[in-house]
Amino acid sequence: MAKNTNVSDLVNEFVQKLTDALQRQTETRAREAVLSAFGGGPAAPRGVQRPRKAGSSHLRLAGRYMGLIRRMKKGEQKQIKGVRATQGVEAAITLMNQMTSARGA
């Protein structure tokens, strides 16, 4: 019986220590979240983030093209896609800018 009580005491002690550690961690994370929400402390990291690539100008150009072409009419889109296929994205963006400025004037 003494051996059984000893094991039970060890298990209870382990569970209590684990519960205390989890409680402290939860309180710390909650405090950091509240502070960062109100601008009072450092923002908690949201996971591993990949650094931005230095040569991502082509991605910006493609995004700009996609944003501009969505605003165009279907006939203009067809014309612009033809220019993009033959002359490239830069020429297509230039044509879109000319069309929007001509339409606005």
Residues 64, 89 contacting (CB under 8 angstroms): no
Residue boundaries of the structural domains of the chain: 9-41, 66-104
pLDDT band at 65 (very low <50, low <70, confident <90, very high): confident
Please state, in angstroms and as integers, the Cα–Cα distance from residue 59 to each residue in 56, 64, 67, 95, following that order.
Answer: 5, 9, 12, 19
Q: Which value, in Å, is the radius of gyration of the alpha carbons in the chain? A: 30
Cβ neighbours of 80 (radius 10 Å): 20
Q: How far is residue 3's CA from residue 101's CA, in Å, rounded to a whole number? A: 88
Residues 44, 36 contacting (CB under 8 angstroms): yes
Higher pLDDT, 4 or 58: 58
For residue range 15-33, list pLDDT tens digits in order: 999 999 999 999 988 888 8
Query: What pTM was computed for the model?
Result: 0.43
Report the SS3 class of residue 49.
coil
Supply the pLDDT for residue 41: 59
For residue range 66-75, list pLDDT tens digits in order: 888 888 888 8
